[in-house]
C-alpha cells in the first residue's frame, strides 16, 4: 500500500528577482521605486504613523509637498502595483519609465504651479491596488500577488483571505482608501491653500466621483479642487446626484476613453452620444484604441498641459464644443467634425 506524503509534492516555485527571469515583476517594482525616490518622492505608510511591521499600505508623495501650491493626486486602477501604469508598455516599446509614473512625474516637475508661482506641482500617488496585507511577508500586495504567495507545495490552494487580518486599517477597500487620502493625507500633508488636480483611472475615477458626489465632501473640497480627469471610467451621469458637483464637473472635468481617434480628439459632450456614454463632462480620446491601462501612459502630457491651463485661469470653464455629423453623397459614410467656441 502506497501513500503520497507532503514531502513528495512538487515544491512551490521560486522566481529570482531580476529582469532576465520570471521574477522580473519584483525587479520592476524596485526599479520604479528607486527612480521615483531619485526624483524627490518619498514613501508614506498609511495609516499615517504606522510602523513597517504593522499593517500598512505605501503611497508616494513629493518630499516638499507641504510647501507646494498645487498638487496632482493620482488614483490609479485597483489592479496595479504602486507606481505602475502598464506592464504591456514596460515589457514592450515604452520601457519602464513610460510604463510607470516616472515619465509622468518628470513632465509634471517641468511645469509651473500657476502663472504667479514658479515651483512645480507636487504629487500624491494613491495605492488602490495593494490593499491586501500579507502577514508573513509584512507587506501590502495586490489581489494578483495574493494568489502568487509561496505555499507549502505547487498543488496547495492559495491562502484564505481574512477580511480583518489581511486588510489595512482605514484602507480596507478602495472606497476607504480614497476617503483616507482626502480626509487624512491631503488634510494633514498638503498646504491648506494648495489647489488639487485629480486624475482617476477606472476604479479610481469611480471612487473619486462617488466620494465628491456626497454633499458634505463636496462642500469641504470644492474650493480646493481645480480640475478632475476621469480616465476609462465606467460611471454614468445618472449616478451623479449632487447638482453642484455635477455642474462643476461639466465646467472643470474632462474624461478620456479608449478610442482609435488621435490624441486630443473630441468624442462627446457631457450628455454623451450614440457611441459614448454620458460622463457629465466633455469626453476625448488619448489615441489608445485597445487597452485602458495604456491611456495615461500615452496621454499624460495632454492631461498635465490641460491642468496647467486651468491653473493659469481662476475663472476657467470648459469651452463649448459641438460634434457635427453629416453624411457624404459620394460614399454614404458618416463624417465627423468638431467646432469649438468659447
- State how beta strands 122-125 and 132-134 pair: unpaired
- Is residue 53 over pLDDT 60? yes
Give pLDDT, residue 328: 56
pLDDT band at 74 (very low <50, low <70, confident <90, very high): very high
CA 107 to chain centre: 16
CA atoms within 13 A on the CB side of 66: 3
247-304 pLDDT, tens per residue?
A: 999 999 999 999 999 999 999 888 877 778 888 899 999 999 999 999 999 999 999 9
Does any domain span residue 9?
A: no
Please, which residues have CB within 8 angstroms of residue 129's CB and are 6 or more apart in sequence?
A: 76, 77, 78, 79, 80, 81, 82, 142
pLDDT band at 25 (very low <50, low <70, confident <90, very high): confident
CATH code of residue 166? 3.40.50
Give pLDDT, residue 60: 98
- Is residue 38 over pLDDT 90? yes
Give pLDDT, residue 259: 94
Give pLDDT, residue 151: 73
Residue 224 and residue 122: Cα distance in Å, rounded?
14
Does any domain span residue 8?
A: no
Q: Kindly state the percentage of the chain with pLDDT values over 70.
A: 89
Query: In three state form, how does the secondary structure of the chain look?
Result: CCCCCHHHCCCCCCCCCCCCCCCHHHHHHHHHHHHHHHCCEEEEEECCCCCCCCCCEEEEEECCHHHCCEEEEEECCCCCCCCECCHHHHCCCCHHHHHECHHHHHHHHCCCCCCCCCCCCEEEECCCCCCEEECCCCEEECHHHHCCCCCCCCCCCCCCCCCCCCECCCCCCHHHHHHHHHHHHHHHHCCCCCEEEEEEECHHHHHHHHHHCCHHHHHHHCCCEEEEEEECCCCCHHHCCCHHHHHHHHHHECEEECCCCCCCCEEECCCCCCCCCCCCCCEEECCCCCCHHHHHHHHHHHHHHHHHHHHCCCCCCCCEEEEEEEECCCCCCEEEEEEEEC
Does any domain span residue 213?
A: yes
Q: How many domains does the chain have?
A: 1
Please check whether residue 276 is in contact with residue 267, taking contact to mean a CB–CB distance below 8 angstroms: yes
Query: In terms of Cα–Cα distance, which of 133, 144, 108 is closest to 53?
Result: 133
Give pLDDT, residue 34: 96
Does any domain span residue 296?
A: yes
134-160 pLDDT, tens per residue?
A: 998 899 999 988 887 777 766 667 778
Does any domain span residue 195?
A: yes
- Is residue 242 over pLDDT 80? yes
Does any domain span residue 310?
A: yes
Give pLDDT, residue 342: 46
Query: Taking residues 305-314, what's their average pLDDT?
Result: 93
Query: Taking residues 303-310, what's their average pLDDT?
Result: 96
Does any domain span residue 312?
A: yes
168-194 pLDDT, tens per residue?
A: 999 999 999 999 999 999 999 999 999
- Is residue 321 over pLDDT 90? no
Residue 138 and residue 55: Cα distance in Å, rounded?
7
Residue 298 and residue 310: Cα distance in Å, rounded?
21
Residue 74 and residue 67: Cα distance in Å, rounded?
19
Domain of 235 in residue numbering reads as: 23-152+159-341
- Is residue 339 over pLDDT 60? no
Output 99 or 147, whichever has higher pLDDT.
99
C-alpha cell at 87: 506592464
Cβ atoms within 10 Å, residue 15: 13
198-238 pLDDT, tens per residue?
A: 999 999 999 999 999 999 999 999 999 999 999 999 998 99
String of b and e for 306-339 (b: at least 16 CB within 10 Å)? bbbebbeeeeeebeebebeeeeeeeeeeeeeeee
Does any domain span residue 192?
A: yes
Amino acid at each position: 500500500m502506497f501513500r503520497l506524503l507532503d514531502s513528495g509534492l512538487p515544491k512551490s516555485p521560486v522566481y529570482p528577482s531580476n529582469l532576465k527571469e520570471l521574477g522580473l515583476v519584483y525587479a520592476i517594482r524596485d526599479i520604479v521605486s528607486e527612480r521615483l525616490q531619485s526624483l524627490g518622492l518619498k514613501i508614506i505608510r498609511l495609516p499615517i504613523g504606522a510602523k513597517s511591521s504593522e499593517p500598512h499600505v505605501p503611497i508616494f508623495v513629493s518630499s516638499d509637498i507641504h510647501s507646494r501650491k498645487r498638487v496632482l493626486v493620482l488614483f490609479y486602477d485597483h489592479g496595479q502595483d504602486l507606481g505602475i501604469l502598464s506592464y504591456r508598455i514596460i515589457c514592450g516599446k515604452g520601457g519602464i519609465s513610460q510604463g510607470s509614473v516616472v515619465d509622468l512625474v518628470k513632465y509634471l516637475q517641468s511645469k509651473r504651479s500657476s502663472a504667479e508661482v514658479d515651483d512645480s506641482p507636487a504629487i500624491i500617488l494613491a495605492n488602490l491596488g495593494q490593499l491586501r496585507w500579507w502577514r508573513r511577508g509584512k507587506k501590502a500586495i495586490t489581489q494578483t500577488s495574493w494568489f502568487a504567495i509561496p505555499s507549502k507545495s505547487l498543488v496547495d490552494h492559495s491562502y484564505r483571505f481574512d477580511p480583518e487580518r489581511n486588510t489595512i486599517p482605514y484602507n480596507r477597500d478602495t472606497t476607504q482608501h480614497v476617503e483616507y487620502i482626502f480626509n487624512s493625507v491631503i488634510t494633514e500633508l498638503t498646504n491648506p491653500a494648495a489647489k488639487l488636480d485629480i486624475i482617476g483611472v477606472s476604479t479610481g475615477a469611480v471612487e473619486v466621483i462617488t466620494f465628491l458626489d456626497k454633499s458634505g465632501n463636496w462642500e469641504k473640497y470644492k474650493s480646493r479642487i481645480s480640475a478632475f480627469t476621469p480616465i476609462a471610467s465606467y460611471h454614468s451621469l445618472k449616478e451623479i446626484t449632487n447638482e453642484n458637483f455635477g455642474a462643476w464637473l461639466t465646467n472643470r472635468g474632462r474624461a478620456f476613453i479608449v478610442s482609435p481617434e488621435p490624441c486630443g480628439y473630441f468624442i462627446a459632450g457631457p450628455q454623451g452620444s450614440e457611441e459614448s456614454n454620458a460622463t457629465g463632462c466633455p469626453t476625448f480620446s488619448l489615441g489608445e484604441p485597445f487597452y485602458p491601462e495604456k491611456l495615461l501612459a500615452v496621454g499624460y502630457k495632454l492631461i498635465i498641459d490641460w491642468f496647467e491651463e486651468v491653473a493659469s485661469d481662476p475663472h476657467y470653464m470648459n469651452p463649448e464644443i459641438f460634434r457635427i455629423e453629416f453624411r457624404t453623397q459620394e460614399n454614404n459614410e458618416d463624417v465627423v467634425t468638431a467646432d469649438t467656441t468659447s
